[in-house]
Amino acid sequence: MYRYDAIDQRMLDERVAQFRDQTQRFLAGLLSEDEFRPLRLQNGLYIQRYAPMLRIAVPYGMLASEQLRKLADVARRYDRGYGHFSTRTNLQLNWPRLEQVPDILAELASVQLHAIQTSGNCVRNITADHFAGVAPDEIVDPLVWCELLRQWSAFHPEFAYLPRKFKIGVSGSPADRAAVEIHDVGLQAVRGRGGAIGFRVLVGGGLGRTPIIGQIIREFLPWPHLLTYLEAILRVYNRYGRRDNIWRARIKILLKDRGIDAFRDEVEQDWTACGRDGPATLTAQEIERVGARFTLPDYRELPARCDTLERQLATSRAFALWYERNVHPHRVAGYAAVTLSLKRIGVPPGDVTSDQMEAIAALADRYSFGELRVTHEQNLVLANVERSDLHAVWREAHAAGLATPNIGLLTNIIACPGGDFCSLANARSIPIAQDIQRRFDDLDYLFDIGELDLNISGCMNSCGHHHIGHIGILGVDKHGSEHYQVSIGGSQGPRATLGKVIGPAFGADEVATAVERLIDCYLACRASDAERFIDTVRRIGIEPFKEYVYASPHPTPTRDPRALASA
Amino acid sequence: MPHLIRHRHATREHWRLLDAAALKDWRDGAFESGIQHAGVLIPLALWLEQPKEQRGAARGAFGVVLQGDDEPGALAADLDRIALIAIEFARFNDGRGYSIARLLRQRFGFRGELRAIGDVLRDQLFYLQRVGFDAFELRGDQDVAGALRAFGDFSETYQAAVDQPLPLFRRRIA
Ligand code: SF4
């Protein structure tokens, strides 16, 4: 966890004072709605369907237990006692009062939290791999680089009024848990000759109305150039990105219009003329300084194998199931990372109450060096748990409703807030997620289906990342009523793919059944138990699924794949 | 006359936009001297239309205006003759002028006055001065005292920019 120094803190406090003044002028009628809008957006404040919404940044997903306690406290005192973790690892409060937002921000600043640039046409909160620093497959720990990017992007004077929002994702592992390919800029930390750190830079990825996978603009950018090179990319975008049409304003469209080669040339030209090797070139000294301000877990020396744990796994099936899904490998012997599922049946995906936040903070203090991670799948991670503590963590998480063993499974649904809260929505997401979760509440069935990402967005803005769900569900408006388009075959990670729509949209009450039929079809067609849903789709294409789902009259759904296969 | 803030001091000044008709007067040297708190701004396209000798001989209170979609590089050869460049913000939230300013200062080395005109509001001033503007013609309804305070919104900055070419990280380690 990076700890602010006095300067970081002073700037944050000054930002709160600045926004307090702006809010007061707005309330006094001295600042028009139009003029206030970008100011409040860059402080995380939306005006939503029923109330304002405040989006609080969790920079690159890292959260300290005292910060989470503050969030619990703020949610209780200024809101309705709960918050929503979004796919950009921010925490959203759905019912704050505009007049109180400066006070909320001041409270947050006291624990080094803020809502800076969580919205608006600027460089947004940086996202990263939620196992950063602990993943065994990691090549470079991205956290220091994320913090450098946070400081560089915060209050960047030149890029506060871009054509559109700008998202940067960072990953240090080939598994790419940060979905860097769907960011405006994706940074894949790699090692070059002699082990030198650098970045593979991708540009122009993004979901939304025109989903595109990012393209490589630079195969290897040596680390000292990280900031100056990004500035060149942003400058070309700031000057030439379209501003006449909000749907064509992201950098991906500029890239599409110019082509990656011409775009690269322009960036290189700007970079060479205006920034390369200049004072913003990073120094080893700074990397060291930032690194040293990170509190590092004080790991104990432990054996890799824990006999108590093995016994516990052998005797409790419920614990074993949770262990299978929610416990992840760690680079340090004797430790594991644990996902606390915010996807309990009956609760909107990503929602967490103040009481739960406090319980989670206590878990983090007791078992994980007081630190947490927020994942883009809207769950929380205890990244440093001793293996001998896993059973205790499971018991306590279970008591707090946070131990649903569904990470990577169908009911770990990623969903945006949708029509229940968001004024841009075509349709609601939460009731659909809940319908589906109820339909698949049988654990054996769920485990039999195996790994499956299901994503729901309430509109084309794609906050629920439906394009990269193995099953993606998109809310659409069909003659004024809520409908849902279903796609399959999307995937995240390296070589991400975009799903294909299977056919006409479904009514709200038909979605869960459609998903069930997709699953029936998969179970009937999979080559073996080891073949995941997405693998089957890749192997046989979407046609068999389409035919099966839209068949009418429909064969009675069956959960016996063999019966279905021979039918 | 609108309020102009120059080097963080308020004054009143307005330079009018030169149209094609007034161009002749300018050519004849009518604007050469003695003009207090007023001058003319020549749109980039019009400036570029002038014969090279004319541009070379130009003197007096004039400046060139750039719009968001203009190329600052077009002025590269003339920069040492031009005392003032104005960048017009058609809308306060059109960010192109920020990059143009930074390019003029950092890439093309412009040393004269860089003035923000058009929809110039108090809440953008801090960032505008960071990217190289040193003069601001405020929109008519802006509160000047408040605008002057805006330059003090932050006492420190992270990034390298025109007002502070060294990023915080090169100053932090003292
Ligand atoms: S996807 Fe659409 S409905 Fe969902 S949160 Fe984003 S904008 Fe709102």
* Domain-embedded: residue A487: yes
* Interior angle at CA A455, CA A421 and CA A548, nearest 5: 125
pLDDT higher than threshold 70 for residue A554: no
pLDDT higher than threshold 50 for residue B90: yes
pLDDT of B174 reads 56
* Domain-embedded: residue A373: yes
pLDDT band at B17 (very low <50, low <70, confident <90, very high): confident
> Which residues from chain A sit within 8 angstroms of residue B168, using beta carbons?
7, 151
* Residue range of the domain that includes A527: 414-566
- Helices A284-292 + A143-153 axis angle, to 10: 100
Both A426 and A550 in a single domain? yes
What's the whole-number average pLDDT of chain A?
Answer: 94
Please provide the distance, in angstroms rounded to a whole number, between the alpha carbons at the two ends of chain B. Answer: 46
* Domain-embedded: residue A296: no
Query: CA A472 to CA A415: how far, in whole Å?
Result: 10
Q: Last residue of some domain: A399, A428, A445?
A: A399
| H-state helical runs in A376-472 | 390-399, 430-439, 443-449
Question: Please, are residues A422 and A458 in contact by the beta-carbon 8 Å criterion?
Answer: yes
Average pLDDT rounded to a whole number, residues A378-396: 97
Average pLDDT rounded to a whole number, residues A536-561: 80
pLDDT tens digits, one per residue of B71-85: 999 999 999 889 899
- Helices A543-550 + A533-540 axis angle, to 10: 110
CB contact under 8 A, A157 and B127: yes
Q: Which of A239, A242, A267, A283 to mutate to test the interface with B (most CBs of B within 10 A)?
A: A239
> Which residues from chain B sit within 8 angstroms of residue A35, using beta carbons?
92, 121, 123
Question: Please, are residues A464 and A414 in contact by the beta-carbon 8 Å criterion?
Answer: yes
Both A349 and A489 in a single domain? no
How far is B1 from chain A, CA to nearest CA, in Å?
21
Query: CA B107 to CA B110: how far, in whole Å?
Result: 8
pLDDT of B31 reads 54
pLDDT higher than threshold 80 for residue A457: yes
pLDDT band at A496 (very low <50, low <70, confident <90, very high): confident
pLDDT tens digits, one per residue of A177-204: 988 999 999 999 999 999 999 999 999 9
The secondary structure of residue A526, as a DSSP letter, is: -
Q: Which two tokens stand for residue A444?
A: 């054996």
Query: CA B174 to CA B169: how far, in whole Å?
Result: 10
pLDDT tens digits, one per residue of A20-30: 999 999 999 99
Average pLDDT rounded to a whole number, residues A45-56: 85
Nearest to A109 by CA among A1, A2, A11, A39: A11
State the CATH number of the domain containing residue A162.
3.30.413.10
CB contact under 8 A, B167 and A31: no
pLDDT tens digits, one per residue of B94-109: 999 999 999 999 999 9
- CA of A206 relative to ligand 1 center, distance in Å: 15
- Which residue in B99, B121, B158 is closest to A152 by CB distance? B158
* Domain-embedded: residue A69: no
pLDDT band at B93 (very low <50, low <70, confident <90, very high): very high
* Domain-embedded: residue A409: no
Q: Which of B162, B169, B170 to mutate to test the interface with A (most CBs of A within 10 A)?
A: B169
ipTM of the complex: 0.94
Average pLDDT rounded to a whole number, residues B17-42: 67
Both A137 and A265 in a single domain? yes
Both A56 and A184 in a single domain? no
CB of A48 within 6 A of ligand 1: the answer is no
pLDDT band at A556 (very low <50, low <70, confident <90, very high): low
Neighbours of A459 (CB within 10 A): 22
pLDDT tens digits, one per residue of A207-243: 988 899 999 999 999 999 999 999 999 999 999 999 9
Ranking A551-555, B89-93, B144-148, B169-173 by mean pLDDT, the lowest is A551-555
What values do phi and psi take at A123, rounded to 5? -75, 120
Number of domains in chain A: 4
CB contact under 8 A, A160 and B94: no
H/E element holding A473?
strand A471-478
**Ligand 1 atom 6 nearest Cα:** A463
What is the model's pTM?
Answer: 0.92
Q: Which two tokens stand for residue B6?
A: 């120059």
Query: CA A224 to CA A532: how far, in whole Å?
Result: 41
Query: CA A249 to CA A237: how far, in whole Å?
Result: 9
H/E element holding A330?
none
State the CATH number of the domain containing residue A359.
3.90.480.20
Ranking A45-49, A55-59, A302-306, B116-120 by mean pLDDT, the lowest is A45-49
Query: CA A240 to CA A386: how far, in whole Å?
Result: 51
Order across the sheet with A91-93: list the strands.
Answer: A45-47, A52-56, A91-93, A82-85, A351-353
Question: Please, are residues A386 and A366 in contact by the beta-carbon 8 Å criterion?
Answer: no
pLDDT of A563 reads 45
Please provide the distance, in angstroms rounded to a whole number, between the alpha carbons at the two ends of chain A. Answer: 56
pLDDT of A426 reads 95
Both A311 and A278 in a single domain? no
How far is A360 from chain B, CA to nearest CA, in Å?
33
Average pLDDT rounded to a whole number, residues A363-379: 96
pLDDT band at A126 (very low <50, low <70, confident <90, very high): very high
CB of A459 within 6 A of ligand 1: the answer is yes
Question: Please, are residues A340 and A360 in contact by the beta-carbon 8 Å criterion?
Answer: yes
Longest dimension (CA), chain B: 58
Nearest to A213 by CA among A520, A493, A512: A493
Both A175 and A282 in a single domain? yes
pLDDT band at A541 (very low <50, low <70, confident <90, very high): very high
pLDDT tens digits, one per residue of A253-309: 999 999 999 999 999 999 999 999 999 999 999 999 999 999 999 999 999 999 999
pLDDT higher than threshold 70 for residue B25: no
pLDDT of B26 reads 67
CB of A458 within 6 A of ligand 1: the answer is yes
* Domain-embedded: residue A502: yes
CB of A416 within 6 A of ligand 1: the answer is yes
Q: Which two tokens stand for residue A503?
A: 């056919």
Q: Last residue of some domain: A399, A430, A452?
A: A399
Query: CA B40 to CA B65: how far, in whole Å?
Result: 10
**Ligand 1 atom 2 nearest Cα:** A459
pLDDT of A451 reads 96
pLDDT of B37 reads 55
Strand blocks (E) in A276-363:
327-328, 335-340, 351-353
CB contact under 8 A, B160 and A283: no
pLDDT of A567 reads 37
Query: CA B145 to CA A318: how far, in whole Å?
Result: 67
> Which residues from chain A sit within 8 angstroms of residue B127, using beta carbons?
155, 157-158, 160
* The one-letter amino acid at B27: R
What values do phi and psi take at A455, rounded to 5? -125, 140
Compute and round to an integer the Cα radius of gyration of chain A: 23
pLDDT of B29 reads 61
> In this prediction, what percent of chain B has a pLDDT beyond 90?
68
- CA of A523 relative to ligand 1 center, distance in Å: 32
* Domain-embedded: residue A185: yes
* Domain-embedded: residue A77: no
CB contact under 8 A, A157 and B98: yes
H/E element holding B72?
none
H/E element holding A74?
helix A65-78
CB of A457 within 6 A of ligand 1: the answer is yes
